[in-house]
């Protein structure tokens, strides 16, 4: 009897996984299309909590997000920095790493250009210049919905062609609320 119950449970678990689709960190994975530069369309795997890391044979993008430094006094004194990292699976020397924000109209905005990249424990790390968290500089923070960004990573190994990867980044409305509350002097303890 116990064996039969166990078999039924295993069968139901398998069927529910088939119906629900793949999962990542407990979330259902879906595929979402994004228009990128030159009118090209890419598909990215997403969950409700954000995108999955993009990966190929050579690299795995691990970070495409924000770091904020909040000031209770004003948005002008609060700063936002985009931070990025990827894992190199082969650690071959690089010529450069370029990261661009793909805007909604398909144009590209340079965010990071590292012309002397180095690996630390197989990882490359980069960050943008800091910018104020004002409505003019960062209007997306002041919107009520989640904000999704697409970043184009161009990784050029020495004596090889450049590798291009597109990584979405999602900043949730809940995170934006925390940032705005912090700017307004309501930093949670």
Question: What residue spans define the domains of the chain?
Answer: 30-183
188 vs 180: CA distance, rounded Å: 12
Q: For residue 50, give the nearest of 177, 170, 140 by alpha carbon.
A: 170
| Segment (H or E) for 54 | none
User: What SS3 class is residue 65?
Assistant: strand
For 5, half-sphere exposure in the C-beta direction (CA atoms, 13 angstrom radius) is 2
The reported pTM is 0.83
**Token pair listed for 21:** 């689709």
For 186, half-sphere exposure in the C-beta direction (CA atoms, 13 angstrom radius) is 6
User: What SS3 class is residue 104?
Assistant: coil
As a whole number, mean pLDDT of residues 175-179 equals 90
- The answer regarding whether domain 30-183 maps to CATH 2.60.40 reads yes
Region of residue 17 (phi > 0: left; psi between -120 and 50: alpha; otherwise: beta) = alpha
Residue 12 confidence class, pLDDT cut points 50, 70, 90: very low
81 vs 79: CA distance, rounded Å: 7
| Residues with Cβ within 8 Å of residue 26, at least 6 apart in sequence | none
36 vs 187: CA distance, rounded Å: 36
Bridge partners of residue 148, in order along the sequence: 170
- Separation in Å, CA 11 to CA 17, 18, 26: 10, 11, 20
**The pLDDT of residue 187:** 52
| Residues with Cβ within 8 Å of residue 34, at least 6 apart in sequence | 41, 42, 43, 44, 102, 150, 166, 168
For residue 60, is pLDDT > 70? Answer: yes
Residue 14 confidence class, pLDDT cut points 50, 70, 90: very low
Residue 21 confidence class, pLDDT cut points 50, 70, 90: low
As a whole number, mean pLDDT of residues 45-63 equals 93
Q: For residue 127, give the nearest of 167, 69, 67, 171 by alpha carbon.
A: 67
């Amino acid at each position: 009897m116990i064996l039969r119950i166990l078999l039924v449970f295993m069968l139901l678990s398998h069927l529910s996984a088939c119906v629900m689709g793949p999962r990542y960190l407990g979330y259902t994975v879906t595929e979402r299309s994004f228009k990128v530069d030159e009118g090209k369309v890419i598909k990215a795997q997403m969950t409700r909590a954000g995108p999955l890391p993009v990966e190929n044979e050579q690299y795995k993008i691990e970070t495409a997000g924000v770091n904020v430094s909040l000031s209770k006094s004003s948005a002008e004194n609060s700063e936002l920095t985009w931070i990025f990292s990827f894992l190199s699976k082969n650690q071959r020397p690089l010529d450069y790493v370029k990261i661009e924000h793909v805007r909604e109209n398909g144009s590209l905005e340079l965010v990071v250009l590292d012309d002397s990249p180095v690996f630390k424990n197989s990882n490359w790390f980069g960050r943008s210049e800091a910018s104020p968290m004002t409505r003019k500089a960062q209007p997306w923070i002041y919107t009520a919905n989640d904000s999704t960004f697409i970043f184009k990573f161009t990784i050029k190994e020495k004596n090889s062609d450049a590798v291009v990867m597109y990584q979405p980044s999602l900043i949730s409305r809940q995170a934006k609320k925390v940032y705005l509350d912090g700017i307004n002097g309501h930093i949670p303890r």
